[in-house]
Amino acid sequence: MVKSLLTAVNEKLSCDDLGKLLLRLAVGGLMLFHGLHKLFGGVGFISGMLVEKGLPGFIAYGVLVGEVVAPILIIVGLFTRPAALVLAFTMIVAWLMVGMGETLALDKVGAWAIESLVYFFIGSLAVAFLGAGRFAVGKAPAWR
């Protein structure tokens, strides 16, 4: 009885394309909030950090590609795999810029201090490996 119940549940929940859509919405949608904050608030603080590290400040605008453009592409499912790789790269850069010192730390509520960086990094890699699925603007034509 339990086995047949589990089989029935597994069959009803077996929708890989819906899972891919939900993953894209979570990874892209949540990262987009970070990007919109920088889009409307400016990237001056990031530019300042780059200049302190001896890098040109103008490359701070790259964060808008990684945190606004890439998430939008991930959400709609257009150029999904490359966009997800751009987001993963952005998370590596964010870790190098602000997270390295917190890699082994906990925050004030006991969570891993860099858990959001790791979530977005691993989530974007999952999207890159899985692709957009059927519910995407850039899905392959049916005749392929």
| Locus of tokens 């925050």 | 107
pLDDT-based confidence at residue 9 (cuts at 50, 70, 90): confident
Higher-pLDDT residue of 23 and 7 is: 23
Question: In this structure, is the dihedral angle defined by the CA atoms of residues 42, 60, 58 and 125, taken in order, positive or negative?
Answer: negative
- What was the pLDDT predicted at 61? 95
Percent of the chain with pLDDT over 90: 81
- 3-class DSSP state of 112: strand
Mean of the per-residue pLDDT values of the chain: 93
Q: What contacts 67, CB < 8 A, 6 or more positions away?
A: 31, 32, 34, 35, 38, 87, 90
pLDDT for 10 beyond 60: yes
Percent of the chain with pLDDT over 70: 97
- What was the pLDDT predicted at 141? 61
- What was the pLDDT predicted at 123? 98
